[in-house]
Structure 1
Amino acid sequence: MFLLKFRTLTNGWYGGVVNYQIPEDTTRETEEDLSDISYDGEHLGGLLVGGLGRLVDGEVGGDNFRLDIGYGRGNGWVAWNNESFPNKYVELIFEFDQVRNFSAVHIFTNNFFSKNVQVFSKARVFFSFGGRFYNGRPFSYSYMPDTVLENARNVSINLHQREGRFVKLHLYFAAKWIMVSEVVFDSVPLGENYTLETEANMSEDEIIVNSGDGDTSWDTFETIAAPNEGQGYVEVVIGVLTAIMLLLLIVFVVILVLSRRQKLQGSPTILRNPFGVTINMKDLLMNLAPVNSNGMVHVSSHPTPASQDPPSDPPSLTFEQYRSPLVNSYYGPNYATLRTNTASNSEGMPSIPDETERNEVVDEAAPKTPTSPPVATGSFSSLQFRSLQTTPVVGPRSQVINLSNYFPRVASDPPSRKRYHTAPREKHRLPPPVITWNIAPSMGHTYKCREAELVPIPRYCLRMVEKVGTCHAGEVILCEAEGLEDIVPGAGRMVAVRTTGVNTSDALREVRFLAGLSDSNVVRVLGVCTAEQPPWTIMEYPEMGDLAHYLQYRVPKTASIRPAANLQALSFGCLLYMATQVASGMKYLESKSIVHKDLAARNCLVGRGYVVKLADIAVCSGLYRKDYSEIGGRPPAPIRWLPWESILLDRYTCSSSAWSYAVTLWEILSLAREKPFQHLSNEQVIQNAEHMYYGGELQVLLPKPTLCPIEIYDLMCECWKRDESLRPSFKEIYMFLKHKNMGYRPGD
């Protein structure tokens, strides 16, 4: 449904409106009267013409058009059904008493989408001086559909000072019904009459081009001016510029193709090395060659690229397929370990690398052929090698030679750089795991986290102490560890056990993803207990508990306040010290492109010495159940800590975590005495965020805490910017807070 009501801001309530013309929709599927019953004009062929009615009565309809507000259900709204309009839009024409300069139009619409009523998807505005011809390009405005909030709203369209006496609106359907309650034009009357002059010019110099009948496209009505002298030069310039742009595009495509081919081949640039071969004489130490039937190394009679000297008899040492763990994890199946001739042959017949593997190494290093010692005998299936330098002496205690000393490196590369003839690494990256908790990879970033192996923990090491609670993601239990430090060094006396609802490979990957995180300010995954089903994830739990609960039993340490016997005083430096540790942990997660969807004081755990670590268990606690709210069928979310894009669009990035950190910093400096936006309901918090969704700023900001200096509060406000790119990174936040608290030590 679509509801429309009109008023202007100048020259009385009607603002110079003489009449308006709208279509009359006779389709009625509801009991509400949603037609313009107060219209005082004529009814001609399905149109209301020559009068004024409900659209100018100044009454705004309610959010729910089905409710009776005293004048009958549907009062204040005019509605149209899209089945009655084959062009899929409603046409409204407004006539003013004189020519006016229009700056904006405001349309008050309904969005009761559960009853198939939504704001129009697109609006187009046309202007005319005489009412017959609508000249010039119309203004086009697209509206993003909103299926979260069902409240009616005002949609504003900037008209950029266009002039005319007639204004025509095309409103396109986004659902079955369109409903409008009020249309407001911001306009200023012009004293001169432009109608005759404009129509005369059009008849002489312009041709009107209209869309065909029944055209459902969004093409505009445009005017084509008659050709003027000198227009040929403009066409020539446009043609030349177009040709230049095409030429640049072709050059860009060629460069892109060449660079991609170069990357796939792993070679230097084609211009610097046209043959695709990189040779380093200094580091060239080894060449591989197969053995003939007599156990001799076969050497090609053609000179190698590294030397034009004639070939000579090659030296030999047995070269067997690798079996050593020293190189297994690094070189993979394409490389081998070298052993001296004194190695025993009783280990079995070694396997021969295939032709592809040998060619890769030969292409990488083609050595210069030296004068060699006599050839040693070897097995038919073994490989021989020849060296430019004397073979290093291998002691009896170490028969394995380090291959990294023999495989050549490119001189231009740093010594530690690895060079592979493989496809780009991105093609072999694993997709991120399916995350059910709140510490997850950031949206729009490549997943680059290391998934660690899990340490098995016996069930007898864990004694249940307290069940924290359950949530949509799983369950959290506090346990006392007995003998766990013998298995996991550094494990504390208390641990948190976290479970998931299902035992799947995705749940296992999520635990391995968390186990790969290693930072002093992030809770560590100690291991997993498989004796329970689903398996238990064992995590650190500092003995002081969560930061929100810890702060509520503290008072600020000032000269004017003396703490009670059961309350401990905390200085501003101590509070900032703990806040800096939270920023340090988030800085680490940001470096891994990881977000925390539930960053708050309740998810920061405190240990001895005011050590703070980030966790993700508070969503299960019954103490904080009211801090979460469901939005549009999604899992409960901490909307008072989240930015507008996370609340309305379900988008989480590192910049979103920066917003949540500012709210957490506000909690710390307020000693967690109240939750954010204490005086607002959940619906009002969502409406507050919706102002940013439509391009504005927050109408309600968190106040500056009493202990908070102005520069710290300015940092919070920077984190609450609407544009994500304008919010500071955690590296910047951490460096700023560390500088502000420089010199503080726990216990000061």
Structure 2
Amino acid sequence: MFEFDRTRNFTTMKVHCNNMFTHRVKTFRKVVCFFRSESDWEPAPVSFSPVTDDVNPSARFVTVSLLNHMASAIKCQYYFADVWMMFSEITFQSDTAVYNTTLAPPKTGPPTSTQPGDDPTHKIDDSNTRILIGCLVAIIFILVAIIVIILWRQVWQKMLEKASRRMLDDELTASLSIQSETLTYNNNNNSSSPSEQESNSTYERIFPLGPDYQEPSRLIRKLPEFSQPAEEAGTSAASKSSQASTQEGVPHYAEADIVNLQGVTGSNTYAVPAITMDLLSGKDVAVEEFPRKLLTFKEKLGEGQFGEVHLCEAEGMQDFMDEDFASETSDSQPMLVAVKMLRADANKNARNDFLKEIKIMSRLKDPNIIRLLAVCICSDPLCMITEYMENGDLNQFLSRHEPEDLMALLSNAPTVSYSNLKYMATQIASGMKYLSSLNFVHRDLATRNCLVGKNYTIKIADFGMSRNLYSGDYYRIQGRAVLPIRWMSWESILLGKFTTASDVWAFGVTLWETLTFCKEQPYSQLTDEQVIENTGEFFRDQKRQIYLPQPAICPDALYKLMLSCWRRNTKERPSFQEIHRTLLECPD
């Protein structure tokens, strides 16, 4: 039964119904429409039977002609063609208006049937429409007000952050001592101390960089006083975490306050404990100024938000190196080096952090860590010159090789033995053991950040993020920060907590990469979003988390070591000392 506000001249009725005949649902077999104009029902109803369709199961509109009957009410009797009828909409059309009645289908369970004896009544009232429109307008006004408040708060927070950064810029001062002279750069000046600049220098100008690789965090940095102990700071994003118990004067895990540096290549070289930075700031750094004219450009390795990394040949670099290190190189040939250059128009924070990075890098002296050889900081652009290994990074090196087996021998493909793979992994563990002893956190340990030299020598570096080749290894957060989520521990992704324990997790993934010859990305069967969801399973610890599978050439002992690196509880993961010892003891 359909009742209307006044008498109308009805032309047609459209019925939207389903015809899933394979599920015993069909359009109606017949409909009989009765009309009431005043108080009496007309004696002659309208009858209509649609064409039976047992081919097309899709829903459709069935149009029933009402022959211009004048009525203020219509009663329709629908007859079943099968077990079920499913209506979603009935529309009446007249000369003056269109009335629409929507029948919502049930959310769950079988479709609702309409029995022949049912007599539903639908009344359409214009006042209800006006009330509905008024409610919608009110809701729209409320939503607009909420959006305005949110935008206002964001603008206000940005203004506060900019004001805080300006205050910090005025306070921070970085100084660097170079052998016989001290170079001091003050934040209130716009350039470093003047000196001659080669007009034909390759590094006379660094062009503006694109925003492809930006640093993962833009936290406000402030160095604490040395007298202040590192206190617990919860799980704030990548900058603070609780201090762990100490062992022989050095914390077992690097969980002290962290000072972030804006790396040239788009990430931090190492996350440095604030107390360690404070200790470093009181000592001179023995690093020499290298003549720019002796650098020959070979290839651009990558770029980041604040600068570029170039592969260069350096003539006479042996004169600038330690005796024990210079003995490994040839005096007659130019030496391959990696040159990190800060963009000339970089902001004050980036320039200060560049000098701090030089100070930190100059302190790192380990056979398995890339070493700082010299600097060019007497004129812009500021440069630091580090080692570079002739075989490139470990990821590309392994992807060009195959495991030693019969197929590789028959195809004459270059191979790497399992013992050499274990030897390289042992060197990575040794380098990380050295960093953890200094309470440094790498935060981006992966095969792309390990360089390969002669006789499978490995040295840990930090500029993998800057290379377009590895852009797929980093996940963009809200269009700004990029993070290597497939190598990151669950607490780093969910809580922003970076410690030596999270480096241990990344080492487990790096070991997996090594033993699979870097033929595929970690968790290659999962999307980035699914990788993040998997970290949630580690957090819930309901035994539904997905682990990387055991590589074909990986013995059970090494896979057990990997699994121990991925334990949920950070205190249950092995230290790098234990990992290094295990790899040394593991048979070839």
- Please report the TM-score for the alignment, with normalisation by the length of structure 2: 0.52
Say yes or no: does 1:435 pair with 2:265.
Answer: no
The 3-state SS of whatever aligns with 1:466 is strand
Deviations 1:460-507 (CA, angstroms, capped at 9, x unpaired): 221110011212353111101111112224455100011235362232
Classify the secondary structure of the residue corresponding to 2:519: coil
Is 1:496 equivalent to 2:338 in the alignment?
yes
Unpaired segments of 5 or more residues in structure 1? 1-53, 60-112, 118-423
CA 1:497–1:115: 2 relative to 1, 3 Å: same
* Partner in structure 1 of residue 443 of structure 2: 597
Residue 666 of structure 1: SS of its match in structure 2? helix
Segments of structure 2 that go 5 or more residues without pairing to the other structure are 1-103, 110-145, 151-224, 231-255, 330-334
For residues 410 and 313 of structure 2, what CA distance do their matches in structure 1 show? 32
Distance in 2 separating the partners of 1:115 and 1:708 = 57
Classify the secondary structure of the residue corresponding to 2:501. helix
How many Å separate the matches in 2 of 1:510 and 1:568? 38
Aligned to 1:706: 552
**Counterpart selection for 1:516 from 363, 366, 370:** 363
Paired letter, 2:315: E
**Structure 1 residue 434 displacement after superposition:** 4.0
Residue in structure 2 matched with residue 467 of structure 1 by the alignment = 300
- For the 8 Å contact 1:439–1:595, the answer to whether it is kept is no
The share of aligned pairs that are identical, in percent, is 38
| 655 and 568 in structure 1: CA distance in 2 versus 1, 3 angstrom threshold | same
User: Cα offset for 1:436?
Assistant: 1.9
Partner of 1:545: 392
Mapped to 1, the partners of 2:489 and 2:449 lie a distance apart of 18
Equivalent in the alignment of 1:614: 460
Q: Secondary structure at the match of 1:463?
A: strand
The counterpart of 2:381, out of the listed 504, 510, 534, is 534
Higher helix share: 2
Which residue number in structure 1 is paired with residue 43 of structure 2? none
Contact 1:604-1:614 at 8 Å conserved across structures? yes
**2:423 aligned residue (547, 552, 577):** 577
Q: Secondary structure at the match of 1:597?
A: coil
1:699 Cα shift? 2.5
Q: In the alignment, what sits opposite 1:124? A: none
Q: Is the 8 A contact 2:258 2:273 kept in 1?
A: no
Aligned to 1:627: 473
Tell me the equivalent position of 2:507. 661
Q: Deviations over 1:497-545 (max 9, x none)?
A: 1123536223211221121111000000112112652301100001111
* Contact 2:269-2:357 at 8 Å conserved across structures: no
Please identify, of 548-557 and 526-535, the stretch whose mean Cα deviation from structure 2 is larger: 526-535
Out of 539, 549, 556, the residue aligned to residue 693 of structure 1 is 539
Which letter does structure 2 place at the counterpart of 1:426? S
Q: Distance in 1 between matches of 2:407 and 2:148?
A: 60
Distance 1:576 1:453, change over 3 A: same
Contact 2:408 2:415 in 1 (8 A): no
Q: Partners in 2 of 1:431 and 1:658 — Cα distance?
A: 19
Structure 1 or 2, whichever has the larger Rg, is 1
Aligned CA-pair RMSD: 3.3
Q: TM-score, normalised by structure 1?
A: 0.41
Q: Retained in 2: the 8 A contact 1:442–1:652?
A: no
Name the count of aligned residue pairs.
Answer: 330
Alignment match of 2:524 (pick from 678, 681, 701): 678
Kindly tell me: are residues 434 and 425 of structure 1, through their superposed partners in 2, closer, same or farther at Cα, counting changes over 3 Å? closer
Instruction: Describe the shift of the 1:114–1:696 C-alpha distance in structure 2 as closer, same or farther (beyond 3 A).
Output: farther
Counterpart of 1:282 in structure 2 is: none
2-structure distance, mates of 1:615, 1:449: 23
Q: Which has the higher contact order (CA 8 A, sep 6+)?
A: 2
SS of the residue 1:636 aligns to:
strand
Query: By how many angstroms is 1:721 displaced?
Result: 1.1
* 1:648-686 alpha-carbon deviations (Å, 9 max, x no partner): 222210000000000000000001111101121111111
Amino acid at match of 1:720: W
Q: Tell me the residue number matched to 1:455.
A: 288
- Whole-angstrom CA distance in 2 between matches of 1:702 and 1:538: 37
C-alpha distance in structure 2 between counterparts of 1:592 and 1:672, whole Å:
30
Shift of 1:702: 0.8
**Letter in structure 1 aligned against 2:336:** M
Bigger shift: residues 542-551 or 681-690: 681-690
Question: Aligned partners of 1:695 and 1:58: how far apart in 2?
Answer: 33
Deviation at residue 626 of structure 1 after TM alignment: 0.9
CA contact (8 A) 2:515 2:553 kept: yes
* Structure 1 pair 563–508 and aligned structure 2 pair: CA distance change class (3 A): farther
Give SS of 2:409's match.
coil
Give the aligned residue type for 1:500: L
Q: Deviation per CA, 1:203-228: give whole Å up to 9, x if none.
A: xxxxxxxxxxxxxxxxxxxxxxxxxx
**Structure-to-structure mapping, 1:12-51, within 5 angstroms:** none
After TM superposition, list the pairs within 5 Å mapping 1:184-263 onto structure 2: none
The alpha carbon displacement at 1:558 in A equals: 2.9
Q: Do the aligned partners of residues 653 and 563 (structure 1) sit closer, same or farther apart at CA in structure 2, a change above 3 Å counting?
A: farther
Are the aligned partners of 2:342 and 2:351 in contact in 1 as well (CA < 8 Å)?
A: no
- Give the aligned residue type for 2:387: E
> What's the offset of the Cα at 1:427?
5.2
- How far apart are the structure 2 equivalents of 1:733 and 1:586? 10
Q: What are the within-5 Å matches in structure 2 for residues 297-376 of structure 1?
A: none
- Could you say if the C-alpha distance between residues 724 and 115 of structure 1 is closer, same or farther in structure 2, counting changes exceeding 3 Å? farther
Displaced runs of 4+ in structure 1, greater than 6 A?
56-59, 113-117, 428-432
Question: Does residue 505 in structure 1 map to residue 331 in structure 2?
Answer: no
* Partner SS state of residue 445, structure 2: coil
